């Protein structure tokens, strides 16, 4: 049976990120995706033009409808938009107590649009981070959450430890903007740090990378993989999705989570995903 993975995030009308990107990544990695929409965005490959937040009562009702019926193996959060949304989501997650919660602390879109109000950052730290099995900030988000802008692996580990100290059980600092090795992510847990590397793909089409990555990790956790294996397999998956990304629209195109279905691509990924097989460093 497919594991059910719940994404709690905003809707991306262009389909590359948010709920739409999450559902594609969940399906591509062997899960069944359910969703709770927290906000509706009007956006395309060039940017975000308008955002409407979903009212708290409707968010609460969606969460209860899904978790009250479906056997959810893991939850991931993306765009939570405001303090009220964060408090609503946190309250229901405390009530339902999912085994795995992956928090992608979405703050700014690829085009630079603010997706999390400044007044909501404190709520994210106090309400969501203590519930999170894993937090997956990029360098900019880690700077806000940890108070240090990492420039290299060592500093990524340090800012990860600072965020860990704010309540999360594990922190994956994504190194796409590290000066010394942009293909490197640093996982920080109470046991120490581990580095995950992959070839750097110099692509303009990276819309939805954070959503794809965190949704894939949540899916593999829900399938029963240990945390480090879930991250390793998801990082390899994301690298190929970025490699296959293309110019959908006239701006920053999306990744392609279904790269392995395209003509001429290798089909080994289907078998590897089914087995949960990550390449060991």
Annotated catalytic residue 206: yes
24, 184, 211, 212: the catalytic one is: 211
Closest CA to 115 of 165, 41, 46: 41
CA distance 17 to 210: 8
Annotated catalytic residue 209: yes
Alpha helices in 6-119 (DSSP H): 18-28, 56-67, 83-96
CA distance 233 to 269: 10
Annotated catalytic residue 210: yes
Annotated catalytic residue 208: yes
Residues listed for the chain: 281
CA distance 141 to 265: 34
18, 210, 222, 245: the catalytic one is: 210
Annotated catalytic residue 7: no
Q: Is 280 helix (H, G, I), strand (E, B) or coil?
A: coil
CA distance 60 to 110: 28
160, 208, 222, 245: the catalytic one is: 208
Largest CA distance in the chain: 48
Annotated catalytic residue 147: no
136, 184, 206, 219: the catalytic one is: 206
4, 7, 136, 209: the catalytic one is: 209
- Secondary structure of the chain: what % helix, strand, coil (to 5)? 40, 20, 35
Q: Residues with catalytic annotation?
A: 174, 206, 208-211
């Amino acid at each position: 049976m497919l594991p059910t993975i719940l994404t709690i995030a905003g809707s991306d009308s262009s389909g590359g990120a948010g709920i739409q990107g999450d559902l594609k990544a969940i399906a591509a990695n062997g899960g069944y995706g359910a969703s709770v929409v927290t906000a509706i965005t009007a956006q395309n490959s060039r940017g975000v033009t308008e955002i409407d937040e979903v009212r708290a009562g409707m968010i609460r009702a969606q969460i209860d409808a899904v978790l009250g019926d479906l056997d959810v193996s893991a939850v991931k959060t993306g765009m939570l938009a405001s303090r009220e949304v964060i408090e609503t989501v946190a309250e229901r997650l405390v009530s339902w107590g999912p085994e795995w919660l992956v928090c992608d602390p979405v703050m700014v879109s690829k085009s630079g649009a603010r997706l999390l109000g400044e007044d909501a950052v404190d709520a994210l730290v106090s309400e969501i981070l203590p519930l999170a099995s894993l937090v997956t900030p990029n360098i900019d988000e880690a700077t806000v959450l940890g108070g240090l802008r990492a420039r290299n692996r060592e500093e990524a580990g340090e800012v990860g430890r600072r965020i860990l100290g704010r309540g999360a059980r594990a922190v994956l600092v994504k190194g796409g903007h590290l000066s010394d090795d942009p293909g490197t992510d640093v996982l920080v847990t109470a046991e120490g740090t581990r580095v995950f590397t992959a070839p750097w793909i110099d692509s303009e089409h990276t819309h939805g990378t954070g959503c794809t990555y965190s949704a894939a990790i949540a899916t593999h956790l829900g399938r029963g993989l240990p945390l480090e294996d879930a991250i390793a397999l998801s990082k390899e998956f994301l690298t190929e999705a970025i490699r296959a990304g293309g110019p959908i629209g006239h701006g920053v195109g999306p990744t392609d989570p279904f790269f392995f279905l395209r003509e001429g691509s290798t089909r080994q990924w289907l078998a590897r995903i089914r087995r949960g097989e990550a390449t060991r460093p």
